[in-house]
Structure 1
Amino acid sequence: MTREYPLTTRGVARLQTLTDTAANLFLDQGYEAVSLDTLIARAGGSRRNIYQHFGGKEGLFVGVVTRLCEEQGWPLRNLDIGDGDIGPAMTAFGEKLLDIILQPRTLALHRLMVAEGQRFPALSQAILRSGHEAGVEILAEWLRLRRDKLRADLSPEVLAEQFVTLLVTGPQLRALVGHESLPLSPSEIARLVRETVSTFLHGALRGGKTPDA
């Protein structure tokens, strides 16, 4: 984003209104369906201001999605798994992760990633990094400190990827296509996480059988 002069307090507020409105429209309708005329009618401002600050619709979209990625990544980066035993700690982590992933805004951003991936590949990769990959990295780092309790033939990175995929994929896909009634109840989230942790630990802990055993 480039500006020719510093924004006044009123200008900052107007720009915030513009980007907030743009974020909601892009998440609801996608890139192609949102026109600058529609955006201006809802948020105010002018085409001149949009081109001055963002260079046009594409630049506005890039700026808005970049901000949405930062917002999505914030709660994930601040997840605290804790220092307890693997089972209870991963259960707590899984419940927090699933709650974040199934938030309406997170799901909308995922839909945007799929819909606009070919047009904006760098942005789609940024969405992936701020969501799925952020969760995997947090768990992998936690598992590295407990390497002695895990199977030696599987790296913490692989284990973290497998756990997040195992937990998230089903509920997320069902929510994305409207087959999941949201928000999930705490008891349903607890059930999904409990079953996933149980399945995962039977394969991840030392003593678990390898496929060719």
Structure 2
Amino acid sequence: MQTVPTTRFGMARSQATSLNFMQTTKSGQKVSKREQLLNAAMELLVDQGNMAFSMNALARHAGASKETLYRHFGNKQGLFEAIVTENADQAGLTADYFSAHPNNPAGFLTAFGEALLTFLMSPQSIVINRIVIAEAASNPELALILDKHGRQRVAQSVGAQFSRYLEQGLVSSEATQSLNYFLGLLLQDSQIKVLDGSIPPLTKPDISARAEHAAALYLKLFAC
């Protein structure tokens, strides 16, 4: 029986190249050099993990000079920050949900919930979170980067937008201050179970149903 080669994180090596989160720009043009480097970095992180990862290794893998890497990212920490930030942006987690749902907080929460769950179930997010967990003891800085440039950044964007419904009188002040409750209703323990491999990632229909249900429950608690 033929053995399928896997990466350090139990993923088939053939899947590693599918993790590139920036293949083309919105206009259909080829990605920039910076984006190519981020894609190469993701492949290398999947294959080797962060401890074995180095700027020298990335330079060899990407066919780029170290000077080019340092010009774009500064150092290894700056590179990881860029990966986290780009992932969140590409997933639409900092999009303008209010403009799409100007008088509809339920639509806002459902749309954001779907985007967040879709992202957290994606191979990119799973790999990044598994790296952070696996190397928490040896490199706790990774968790701080993920929190600052991922979770906090998204929370600030969404919180600022959602507060506009308070100005419209559509939600209570508690609703704008308690969005973590919405995240609890949305995520439950699914992300943890996906990360530890006990369940597969949620399907698109499951994600849509979960987001709609969480939004309805949350607004039942906190709507005016």
Instruction: Select 2:81's aligned residue among 40, 45, 66.
Output: 66
Does residue 205 of structure 1 match 2:207?
Answer: no
1:163-196 CA deviation, whole Å, 9 max, x = no partner? 12331352211221223333x3332112111221
**1-side partners of 2:114 and 2:35: how far apart?**
33
Report if aligned partners of 1:116, 1:124 keep a CA contact under 8 Å in 2: no
Change (3 A) 1:87 1:36: closer
In structure 2, the residue matched to 1:142 is 161
Tell which deviates more after alignment, 131-140 or 101-110: 131-140
In structure 1, the residue matched to 2:145 is 126
1:14-34 CA deviation, whole Å, 9 max, x = no partner? x87666433322234322244
TM-aligned CA deviation for residue 94 of structure 1: 1.3
In structure 1, the residue matched to 2:111 is 92
- In the alignment, structure 2 segments of 5+ residues that lack a partner are 1-31
Change (3 A) 1:200 1:155: closer
In structure 2, the residue matched to 1:193 is 211
In structure 2, the residue matched to 1:211 is none
Aligned residues: 184
- Using the size of structure 2 for normalisation, the TM-score is 0.65
Change (3 A) 1:94 1:107: same
Change (3 A) 1:43 1:88: closer
In structure 1, the residue matched to 2:191 is 172
Counterpart AA for 2:78: G
**2-side partners of 1:62 and 1:188: how far apart?**
35
Counterpart AA for 1:72: N
Report if aligned partners of 1:79, 1:96 keep a CA contact under 8 Å in 2: no
Tell me the SS of whatever aligns to 1:78: coil
Counterpart AA for 1:87: A
Tell me the SS of whatever aligns to 1:30: helix
Report if aligned partners of 1:167, 1:196 keep a CA contact under 8 Å in 2: yes
Report if aligned partners of 1:111, 1:176 keep a CA contact under 8 Å in 2: yes
What is the Cα-based RMSD across aligned positions, in Å? 3.2
Does residue 112 of structure 1 match 2:127?
Answer: no
Change (3 A) 1:139 1:39: closer
1:60-104 CA deviation, whole Å, 9 max, x = no partner? 532331220221231222252421322233212211221122211
Tell me the SS of whatever aligns to 1:76: coil
Tell which deviates more after alignment, 33-42 or 109-118: 33-42
Change (3 A) 1:194 1:61: same
Counterpart AA for 1:76: L
- In the alignment, structure 1 segments of 5+ residues that lack a partner are 1-11, 207-213
**2-side partners of 1:177 and 1:105: how far apart?**
15
Change (3 A) 1:126 1:28: same
Tell which deviates more after alignment, 164-173 or 117-126: 117-126
